[in-house]
């Protein structure tokens, strides 16, 4: 499960993770549940139907499948499965009943969406192995994740016996098992980190298994505060260096000398940001979770970019000894 | 689409914008004059919209500070402000009423008040204001009402609009500045209240709660489903939602209905307020491809709904005082210095040439990176401008850190107002 504050890169990280986990001979499934066709957009394919489709081959050679779960269709399936509703299902749909049920109670949607994903997790081939070695979900944002994943507990409590109760319990067993990991994506900015810290606390309190923190869009550290202080004290030498590099005269009023002020101010901003990022990193470290870093891609996270991120992730997963 | 937008946007925009030269090939682009907008006594409502995280709350608060310090009596309605920003405005509790903000320069005769939207309280207050205490209590205790008011998708947008309507009706303020809820799309602010309204007034909720009353053809068709379809469906809902839910819903809808004639009517009324002449929309966006694509959708939607657009705020743009030094030259120079540094690496003293070279090279690399960002942001901006040349734009430079005090808000306000080609008022 990949969650995080809105816009931090959940869809991107989920896709990169599904690619990274698709090692030679393995098969992963990338699932989205919010009806936004984010996967199709990222992989530059047409809109995904409610059906598993192969969309890519991972850098390790395995296959990546994708699925966009549609809550409305899932509800019809569900009704069919438990009640053999037949044509009445379509009639309910025409009346707006399905739409009603899936909007009125986010709970209904969530039961259906998590149910579908768990079905894919548990599905086996004829030979008895799992169909998918890993299922990666582009999950709802941090603010909703605990409710989203916890909904089956409530349902199991409401419907005390019968097929719905059993189904809800089975889903919860999968979600709370060590086979599941809820990963959080963050940026090195105040609000996303705060949301991550709060999210981890909430997940832990509910007994849901927290995975790792994915720090997205990191930038290289070039010069820190100490370097800025040193630079301020050696303006003359730096002006001379700039001049030697062909950027104009180092004397007062020379072009190289005039660059010093602006360049120093930019460097100061960079150093201040690094200092803030340092504080945020230690807050993340305080969570005592495995952490992964994904660099900021200059041209945004397009398809080649996602493969690049997948490659970085693959190495980091290996270093951290994550075999799955 | 463009022509329509131009028509709707121009009447208001013209008086507040001044054309100024742009990069070759783009012709002239209108510039948003924020001071003219907030100084105009005709401007009564400014709505700051945009996709999630772009700076709506920051822009709203910064405009509030600036308008107050320029002599207007302003209230800012913020939604979920970051903790430190809220504290800096004295917003320590969610009490749903505007509080005077201390530390704002009152010399020109203005005042700043601010509040954080408490959506549940706002909802409760609607109920309390429209019925007798006993029925109000019954509704407030209704479990369906409770889950609805605490978290139904769209409730926050609905309540933000509701609160705006209340603040405007009071006529206590010269200027109301509204922040909008964090959502993935700016369109949600316009659509969610209607969605909630029509959901509550919708056909199916009526069928479920009072089939006899809804009657008519829909009722007939529903019956034709056969008892099995209906009971299976309500049975399932009951299982999923808790047994009492449908009953709670029925009580709730009935009570609401007799009280104030439906949610849709209310949502429609506020929607019309947004079309009124004293209202101005500011679309806030980050200079990124996806964000500007969103902003373009929103601009088109405002035009289609005849809502007055004041302009686009491009927030967190980067600039450089050394823009004449290109990224390529800076990188080449950095490489030269690094090679030089390796050749004669002496024992490190803080001001030894090697250190100076390393520092200079680092500074040049940072500059090159900055120039790349700048170029990318310009390209994105120009693409938007090509699609919507009629939309006035104000660019706001990124501050190095987060914005969480009045000083920071003033700085943002200043940057908003100081645009090339706009005469300082
Ligand atoms: N490492 C990266 N480098 C550069 N751009 C990135 C990176 N990761 C994500 N992005 C960009 O940031 C934006 C948001 O990413 P994405 O859509 O994955 O976020 P999200 O959390 O799924 O957003 P939402 O909450 O809207 O679903 C996209 O434009 C994406 O291309
Ligand atoms: N020009 C700027 N320079 C530096 N930081 C900024 C600037 N504008 C906004 N920020 C920072 O960006 C973050 C997001 O801003 P803000 O909360 O205003 O966005 P928002 O659009 O209201 O977000 P949401 O959709 O979550 O409500 C804040 O930490 C804020 O301090
Ligand atoms: Mg996404
Ligand atoms: Mg906000």
In tens, the pLDDT along B199-232 reads 666 666 666 655 444 444 444 444 444 445 556 6
Question: pLDDT over 70 for what percent of chain B?
Answer: 72
Output phi, psi for A298, to 5 deg.
Answer: -60, -40
Among B181-185, B209-213, B252-256, B418-422, top mean pLDDT goes to B418-422
Are B281 and B334 in a shared domain? no
Joined tokens for residue A225: 């505060």
Evaluate whether residue B260 is within a structural domain: yes
Q: Residue B347: is it exposed, middle or buried by C-beta count within 10 angstroms (0-12/13-18/19+)?
A: exposed
Q: In this structure, is the dihedral angle defined by the CA atoms of residues A236, A242, A245 and A249, taken in order, positive or negative?
A: negative
Output phi, psi for B176, to 5 deg.
Answer: -110, 125
What's the pLDDT tens digit per position in B24-41?
A: 344 467 999 999 999 999
Evaluate whether residue B176 is within a structural domain: yes
- Binned at pLDDT 50, 70 and 90, residue B415 comes out as very high
Q: Residue B40: is it exposed, middle or buried by C-beta count within 10 angstroms (0-12/13-18/19+)?
A: middle
Contacts of A97 in chain B (CB under 8 A): 204, 233
Q: Is A246 on the interface with B (CB under 8 A)?
A: yes
Q: What residues contact B424, with CB distance under 8 A and at least 6 apart?
A: B35, B417, B418
- Of A124, A131, A111, nearest in space to A175 by CA: A111
Question: pLDDT over 70 for what percent of chain A?
Answer: 87
Are B243 and B348 in a shared domain? no
Query: A with B: how many residue pairs have Cβ under 8 Å apart?
Result: 176
Q: Which of A168, A266, A295 to mutate to test the interface with B (most CBs of B within 10 A)?
A: A266
Evaluate whether residue B257 is within a structural domain: yes
Are B252 and B351 in a shared domain? no
Which DSSP string do the residues of A252-282 spell out, in sequence order? TTSHHHHHHHHHHHHHHHHHHHHHHHHHHHH
Greater confidence (A264 vs B97) lies with A264
Evaluate whether residue B63 is within a structural domain: yes
Closest-CA residue, ligand 2 atom 19, reads: B55
For A266, what's the count of Cα atoms within 13 Å in the CB-facing half-sphere?
24
What's the pLDDT tens digit per position in A118-143?
A: 999 999 999 999 999 999 999 999 98
Read off the pLDDT of each residue in B144-166 and give the average, rounded to a whole number.
Answer: 78
- Binned at pLDDT 50, 70 and 90, residue B3 comes out as very low
Are B41 and B183 in a shared domain? yes
Q: Which of A83, A168, A259, A305 to mutate to test the interface with B (most CBs of B within 10 A)?
A: A259
Are B336 and B247 in a shared domain? no
Contact call for A300 and B402, based on CB within 8 A: no
Are B163 and B27 in a shared domain? yes
In the DSSP assignment, the letter for residue B173 is -
pLDDT score, position A202:
95
Ligand 2 probe mutation, B48, B51, B57, B58, most atoms within 8 A of CB:
B58
Greater confidence (A62 vs A323) lies with A62
- pLDDT at B420 > cutoff 60: yes
Evaluate whether residue B218 is within a structural domain: yes
Are B197 and B167 in a shared domain? yes
Number of domains in chain B: 2
Q: Is B379 on the interface with A (CB under 8 A)?
A: no
Are B227 and B290 in a shared domain? yes
CB of A135 within 8 A of CB of A28?
A: yes
Contact call for B229 and A273, based on CB within 8 A: no
Greater confidence (A85 vs A248) lies with A248
Ligand nearest to the CA of A214: 1
- pLDDT at B15 > cutoff 60: no
Evaluate whether residue B3 is within a structural domain: no
For B208, what's the count of Cα atoms within 13 Å in the CB-facing half-sphere?
32
ipTM of this predicted complex?
0.85
Among B10-19, B55-64, B413-422, top mean pLDDT goes to B55-64
Interfacial A residues in 124-143 facing B (CB < 8 Å)? none
The Cα of B87 is separated from the nearest Cα of chain A by a number of Å equal to 15
Which DSSP string do the residues of A174-243 spell out, in sequence order? HHHSTT--EEEEE-SSHHHHHHHHHHHHHHHHHT--EEEEEEEEE------HHHHHHHHHTHHHHHHHHH
Interfacial B residues in 27-56 facing A (CB < 8 Å)? 51-53
- Of A317, A280, A321, A292, nearest in space to A197 by CA: A280
Q: Residue B150: is it exposed, middle or buried by C-beta count within 10 angstroms (0-12/13-18/19+)?
A: exposed
Evaluate whether residue B79 is within a structural domain: yes
Q: Which atom of ligand 1 is nearest to the CA of A301?
A: 31
- Poorest-confidence range of B1-15, B51-65, B252-266? B1-15
Evaluate whether residue B143 is within a structural domain: yes
Query: What's the rounded Cα separation, in Å, for the pair A173 and B334?
Result: 57
Question: A225-249 as b/e, with b when 16 or more CB fall inside 10 Å?
Answer: eebbebbeebeebbbbbbbbbebbe
- Binned at pLDDT 50, 70 and 90, residue B243 comes out as low
Question: Taking ligand 3, which is a single-atom ion, which protein residues have CB atoms under 5 Å away?
Answer: A 10-11, 38
Q: Which of B363, B375, B403 to mutate to test the interface with A (most CBs of A within 10 A)?
A: B363
Are B89 and B191 in a shared domain? yes
In the DSSP assignment, the letter for residue B399 is P
Output phi, psi for B396, to 5 deg.
Answer: -120, 125
- pLDDT at B316 > cutoff 60: yes
Joined tokens for residue B145: 């009402």
Owner of token pair 């479990």? B143
pLDDT score, position A137:
97
pLDDT score, position A175:
93
Q: What value, to the nearest 5°, has the Cα angle with vertex B381 and ends B380 and B383?
A: 65
The Cα of A231 is separated from the nearest Cα of chain B by a number of Å equal to 6
pTM of the model: 0.82
Mean pLDDT of chain B: 80
- pLDDT at B10 > cutoff 60: no
- pLDDT at B353 > cutoff 60: no
CB of B310 within 8 A of CB of B13?
A: yes
pLDDT score, position A88:
63
pLDDT score, position A246:
94
Question: pLDDT over 90 for what percent of chain A?
Answer: 71
- pLDDT at B377 > cutoff 90: yes
C-alpha of residue B121 to centroid of ligand 2, in Å: 25
- Binned at pLDDT 50, 70 and 90, residue B17 comes out as very low
For B279, what's the count of Cα atoms within 13 Å in the CB-facing half-sphere?
20
Contacts of B52 in chain A (CB under 8 A): 6-7
Mean pLDDT of chain A: 89
Q: Residue A93: is it exposed, middle or buried by C-beta count within 10 angstroms (0-12/13-18/19+)?
A: middle
pLDDT score, position B91:
86
Ligand 1 contacts CB of residue A120 (under 6 A): no
Are B365 and B220 in a shared domain? no
Are B309 and B346 in a shared domain? no
> Domain range for residue B335?
327-379
- pLDDT at B234 > cutoff 90: no
CB of B200 within 8 A of CB of B253?
A: yes
Query: What's the rounded Cα separation, in Å, for the pair A132 and A29?
Result: 6
Report how far apart the first and last C-alpha atoms of chain A are (Å, whole number): 14
Contacts of B207 in chain A (CB under 8 A): 95
Are B313 and B337 in a shared domain? no
Q: Is B320 on the interface with A (CB under 8 A)?
A: yes
């Amino acid at each position: 499960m990949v969650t995080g504050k809105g816009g931090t890169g959940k869809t991107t990280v989920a896709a990169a993770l599904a690619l990274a986990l698709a090692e030679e001979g393995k098969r992963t499934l990338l699932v989205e549940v919010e009806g936004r066709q984010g996967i199709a957009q990222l992989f530059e394919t047409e809109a995904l139907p409610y059906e598993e489709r192969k969309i890519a081959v991972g850098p390790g050679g395995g296959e990546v499948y994708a699925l966009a779960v549609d809550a409305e269709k899932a509800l019809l399936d569900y009704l069919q499965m438990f009640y053999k509703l037949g044509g009445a299902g379509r009639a309910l749909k025409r009346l707006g009943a399905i739409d009603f049920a899936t909007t009125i109670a986010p709970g209904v949607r969530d039961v259906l969406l998590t149910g579908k994903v768990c079905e894919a997790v548990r599905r086996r081939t004829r030979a008895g192995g799992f169909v998918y070695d890993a299922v990666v979900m582009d999950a709802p944002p941090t603010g909703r994740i605990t409710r989203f994943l916890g909904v089956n507990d409530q349902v199991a409590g409401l419907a005390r016996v019968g097929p719905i109760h059993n189904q809800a319990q089975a889903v919860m067993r999968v979600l709370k098992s060590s086979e599941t990991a809820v990963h959080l994506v963050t940026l090195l900015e105040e609000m996303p980190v705060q949301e991550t810290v709060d999210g981890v606390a909430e997940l832990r309190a509910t007994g849901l298994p927290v995975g790792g923190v994915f720090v997205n869009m990191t930038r290289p550290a070039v010069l820190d505060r100490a370097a800025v202080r040193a630079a301020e004290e050696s303006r003359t030498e730096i002006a001379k260096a700039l001049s030697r590099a062909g950027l104009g005269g180092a004397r007062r009023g020379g072009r190289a000398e005039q660059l010093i002020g602006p360049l120093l101010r930019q460097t100061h901003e960079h150093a201040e940001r690094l200092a803030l990022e340092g504080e945020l990193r230690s807050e993340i470290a305080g969570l005592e979770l495995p952490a992964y870093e994904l660099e900021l891609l200059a041209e945004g996270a397009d398809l080649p970019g996602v493969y690049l991120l997948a490659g970085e992730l693959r190495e980091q997963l290996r270093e951290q000894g994550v075999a799955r | 689409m463009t022509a329509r937008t131009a028509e709707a946007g121009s009447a208001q925009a013209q008086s507040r914008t001044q054309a100024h030269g742009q990069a070759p090939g783009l012709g002239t682009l209108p510039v948003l004059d924020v001071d003219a907008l907030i100084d105009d006594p005709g401007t009564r409502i400014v709505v700051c919209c945009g996709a999630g995280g772009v700076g709506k709350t920051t822009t709203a608060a910064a405009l509030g500070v600036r308008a107050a310090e320029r002599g207007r009596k302003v209230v800012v309605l913020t939604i979920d402000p970051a903790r430190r920003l809220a504290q800096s405005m004295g917003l320590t509790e969610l009490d749903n009423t505007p509080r005077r903000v201390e530390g704002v320069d009152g010399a020109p005769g203005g005042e700043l008040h601010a509040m954080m939207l408490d959506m549940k309280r706002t909802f409760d207050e609607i109920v309390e204001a429209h019925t007798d205490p006993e029925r109000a209590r019954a509704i407030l205790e209704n479990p369906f009402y409770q889950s609805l008011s605490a978290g139904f998708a769209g409730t926050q947008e609905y309540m933000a609009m509701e609160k705006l309507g209340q603040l405007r009706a009071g006529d206590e303020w010269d200027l109301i500045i509204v922040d909008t809820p964090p959502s993935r799309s700016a369109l949600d602010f316009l659509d969610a209240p209607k969605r909630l309204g029509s959901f509550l007034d919708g056909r199916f909720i009526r069928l479920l709660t009072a089939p006899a009353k809804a009657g008519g053809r829909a009722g007939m068709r529903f019956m034709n489903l056969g008892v099995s379809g209906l009971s299976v469906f309500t049975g399932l809902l009951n299982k999923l939602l808790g047994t009492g839910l449908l009953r709670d819903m029925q009580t709730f809808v009935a009570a609401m209905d007799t009280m104030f004639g439906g949610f849709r009517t209310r949502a429609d009324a506020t929607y019309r307020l947004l079309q009124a002449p004293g209202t101005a929309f500011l679309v806030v966006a980050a200079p990124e491809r996806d964000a500007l694509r969103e902003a373009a959708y929103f601009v088109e939607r405002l035009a289609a709904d005849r809502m007055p657009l004041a302009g686009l705020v491009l927030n967190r743009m980067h600039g450089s005082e050394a823009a004449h030094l290109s990224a390529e030259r800076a990188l080449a120079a950095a490489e030269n210095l690094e090679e030089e540094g390796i050749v004669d690496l002496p024992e490190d003293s803080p001001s030894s040439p090697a250190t100076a070279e390393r520092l200079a090279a680092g500074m040049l690399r940072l500059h090159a990176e900055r120039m790349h960002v700048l170029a990318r942001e310009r390209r994105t901006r120009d693409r938007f401008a090509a699609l919507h040349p009629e939309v006035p734009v104000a660019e706001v430079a990124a501050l190095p850190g987060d914005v969480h005090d009045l000083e920071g808000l003033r700085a943002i306000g200043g940057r908003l107002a100081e645009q090339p080609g706009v005469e300082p008022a």
